[in-house]
Amino acid sequence: MITFLIGVAILIGGYFTYGKFVEHVFGPDDRKTPAIANPDGVDRVPMKHWKNMLIQLLNIAGIGPVIGVILGIKFGAIVFIILPLGNVLGGAVHDYFSGMISMRNNGYNVPALSRKFLGKGPSKLVMGLISVALILVGAVFTNTPAQLINTPIIAGSAVSPTLFWVAVGVIFAYYFASTFFPIDKIIGRIYPIFGGMLILASLGIMIGIAPHLNVLDEFNLCDIASNFTQHPGHQPIIPMLFVTIACGIISGFHSTQSPLVARTEVTEKTGRQTFYGMMIIEGLIGMIWAAGGMFIYHMQPELMAAGGVKVLSVLVSTVIPFAPISILVVVGVIILAITSGDTSLRSLRLTISELFGIDQTDPKKRLLLTVPMFAICLVIIFWSNLNPQGFNILWNYFSWSNQLMAVCSLCVATVYLRSKGKNFWITLFPCMFMAFICFDYIFWVSPENLKGAPLGFGLDYKTALVLALENAVILGALLCRRGKTLYSNKNFDADKWDSSIDERHNYKPD
């Protein structure tokens, strides 16, 4: 219990200390935001700050801080320390700069920003990685809530393939509406309600496990090495923990969501609350569910071999035996997943439109982008459910690509800060660390090295670590060089979006 409480204290204290430091480095001011300077009635729409905070929370808080941490807590009590430290020093910093740099540049997404800060060549790679990742997010965040709807606690009977596909259809219909229609017509109206349900669901679990916090494991100060070898499947903490608990520690998906809210904020000075603060809240949600996961594994050790959805269902029904409330909690988790899936596809539409100059105020052109995206996503969902190992493979690639997105966003943030002569180390360090994690994962992972894993290079563990470290250092050096070049370019303005980018689509700041 002490380790858990220390982790909670790190999150709360981090917001009021390191969060303020990060805000000071960026330096928000009174300049007009995209919603005020360039409203378009579709995506750049002024909205109330409290709504923006709830929208941001629901956008970023997918199933990672619930199912992800339930699986991640298998690594032991070390999660109660790594999660909050990673959140404060990495994830919240990532989310803050993703939103604030976008706000300074007319609300544009990471691929468009990478064209400005990283150059035309790297931006094409960023565009490809993020597009694939967002499609995978849409597929995963349709599949998982549909599975939850099809669990006995919700369905009230045995699982049914028919109910699953009906749920997929309903979720997809909602995704289409939230992707196609103006942000204030769907998302702006229903997300505050969903936000309340999410908070109540997490509080319900916290109240349910509160009497049992004494059973939680503690970080072993007497034998530090033992904290890194507790996973029942012998998975190494590096890289697997940082891939499993993506949303609680740091998540690249958030960099695609922060610009959505950056377009609707009316002042820069609320950015720390909206972007940094909501990531801290997600970290607290993750800590609650991690504690719940550790508790249920102690009560029913056989669940260590079960899937995340199964463990979630048993956890909720155990700590909240009153059926109506337990159903409400699961509904809250379902909403958590759905409200990330819808905005992932909306973000993909905007990303493609920005890079190809497709006017999104025209409903026909919005439809032209929306339909193909959904068709690809649906094909992936069908494949993942027809193949017995399909969803596991999909989840693994989604998790890895999610962290690659974080690296891309932190690359932009690092060059941005370096080009302005500001403290770029606060983004460079987490950027290099996450690059190290991503390189290590793809170099090492394979079905031979890790049961049920997707294809990677399959190198031995030590070789993968060395190569990953070398590549991360090279990336860091390249980012510093790029930032220094832009700093020397007196015609480059990091805080102003050049309208010629929209016209030419081939902008190179140097």
The tens digit of pLDDT for each residue in 52-61 reads 898 888 778 7
Q: What is the pLDDT of residue 414?
A: 98
DSSP, res 321:
-
Place of tokens 């969903």: 194
Q: How far apart are CA 397 and CA 381, in angstroms?
A: 14
Q: How far apart are CA 245 and CA 68, in angstroms?
A: 5
DSSP, res 236:
-
* Mean pLDDT score across all residues of the chain: 84
Q: How far apart are CA 364 and CA 334, in angstroms?
A: 31
Q: Encoding tokens for residue 343?
A: 């905005």
Q: What is the pLDDT of residue 154?
A: 66
Q: How far apart are CA 335 and CA 141, in angstroms?
A: 10
Which of the two residues, 386 and 283, has the higher pLDDT score? 283
Q: Encoding tokens for residue 213?
A: 């916090």
Helix 110-117 to helix 92-104 angle, to the nearest 10 degrees? 70
Q: What is the pLDDT of residue 3?
A: 95
Model pLDDT for residues 286-340, shown as the tens digit of each residue: 999 899 999 999 999 998 887 777 888 888 888 887 777 777 777 777 776 776 6
Q: Is residue 65 situated within a structural domain?
A: yes
State what percent of residues in the chain have pLDDT above 70.
Answer: 88
Rounded to two decimals, what is the model's pTM? Answer: 0.86
State what percent of residues in the chain have pLDDT above 90.
Answer: 40
What's the gap between Cα 30 and its chain centre? Answer: 29
Q: What is the pLDDT of residue 81?
A: 95
Q: Is residue 224 situated within a structural domain?
A: yes
Q: Considering only CA atoms, which of 367, 422, 54, 404 is closest in space to residue 256?
A: 404
Looking at this protein, which amino acid is placed at residue 29? D
Q: Which domain holds residue 406?
A: 2-504
Model pLDDT for residues 229-250, shown as the tens digit of each residue: 888 888 899 999 988 887 789 9
Q: What is the pLDDT of residue 195?
A: 66
* The total number of structural domains that make up the chain: 1
Contacts of 17 (CB under 8 A, 6+ apart): none
DSSP, res 33:
P
Q: Is residue 62 situated within a structural domain?
A: yes
Q: What is the pLDDT of residue 503?
A: 43
Q: Is residue 320 situated within a structural domain?
A: yes
Q: Is residue 158 situated within a structural domain?
A: yes
Q: How far apart are CA 136 and CA 116, in angstroms?
A: 26
Q: Is residue 510 situated within a structural domain?
A: no
CATH code of residue 100: 1.20.1740.10
Q: Is residue 463 situated within a structural domain?
A: yes
Q: Is residue 44 situated within a structural domain?
A: yes
Q: Considering only CA atoms, which of 339, 344, 277 is closest in space to residue 53?
A: 277
Question: Could you tell me the pLDDT band of residue 160, with boundaries at 50, 70 and 90?
Answer: low
The listed range with the strongest mean pLDDT (99-108, 366-375, 488-497) is: 99-108
DSSP, res 233:
T
DSSP-assigned states of every residue in 59-89: HH--SIIIIIHHHHGGG-TTHHHHHHHHIII
**Start-to-end Cα distance in the chain:** 54
Place of tokens 């950027």: 431
Which of the two residues, 488 and 320, has the higher pLDDT score? 488
What's the gap between Cα 291 and its chain centre? Answer: 21
What CA–CA distances, in Å, run from 386 to 278, 310, 381? 37, 20, 9
Contacts of 427 (CB under 8 A, 6+ apart): 93, 94, 97, 410, 413, 414, 417
Is the torsion defined by CA of 175, 177, 182, 188 positive or negative? negative
Q: Encoding tokens for residue 148?
A: 């939850």
Question: Could you tell me the pLDDT band of residue 509, with boundaries at 50, 70 and 90?
Answer: very low
Contacts of 125 (CB under 8 A, 6+ apart): none
DSSP, res 320:
-
Predicted confidence (pLDDT) at residue 499 exceeds the cutoff of 60: no
The listed range with the strongest mean pLDDT (64-78, 130-144, 456-470) is: 456-470
pLDDT mean over 439-448: 91
Question: Could you tell me the pLDDT band of residue 212, with boundaries at 50, 70 and 90?
Answer: confident
The listed range with the strongest mean pLDDT (97-111, 235-249, 445-459, 464-478) is: 464-478
Q: What is the pLDDT of residue 467?
A: 97
